[in-house]
Amino acid sequence: MGGIGWQELLIVLLIVLVVFGAGRLPMIGEGLGKAIRNLKRSLKADDDIEVTPKEKQVETKSSAKKVADEEVAEAEVVER
């Protein structure tokens, strides 16, 4: 009593399939995967907070390139 069996999981899967449709399930799975990866990445990241005012910060070319490279790596490809 209290556990979820394979019958209940099958019913939930069928309801999800009816509500979202077979075409949207891969996109939902991809979104969940990205969310889990982002959560794991944020848990591993340092919690250092930059407290220097923006007007006093000096940005070097290498740090600007690093930020740009990170943004490109995290970019999402949208196909229509």
* pLDDT for the residue 43: 85
23 within some domain: yes
Q: Which residue intervals of the chain are DSSP H helices? A: 6-20, 25-44, 61-73
Q: Could you tell me which residues come within 8 angstroms of residue 27 by beta carbon, excluding any fewer than 6 positions away?
A: none
* pLDDT for the residue 69: 77
* pLDDT for the residue 63: 67
Residue 35 domain boundaries: 1-46
2 within some domain: yes
Query: 54 to each of 22, 51, 69, how far by Cα in Å?
Result: 48, 9, 21
* pLDDT for the residue 7: 93
Task: Compute mean pLDDT per 10 residues along the chain, 80 residues long, and list them.
Answer: 84 90 88 93 76 66 71 72
* pLDDT for the residue 73: 75
If one counts the domains in the chain, the total is 1
**Model pTM score:** 0.42
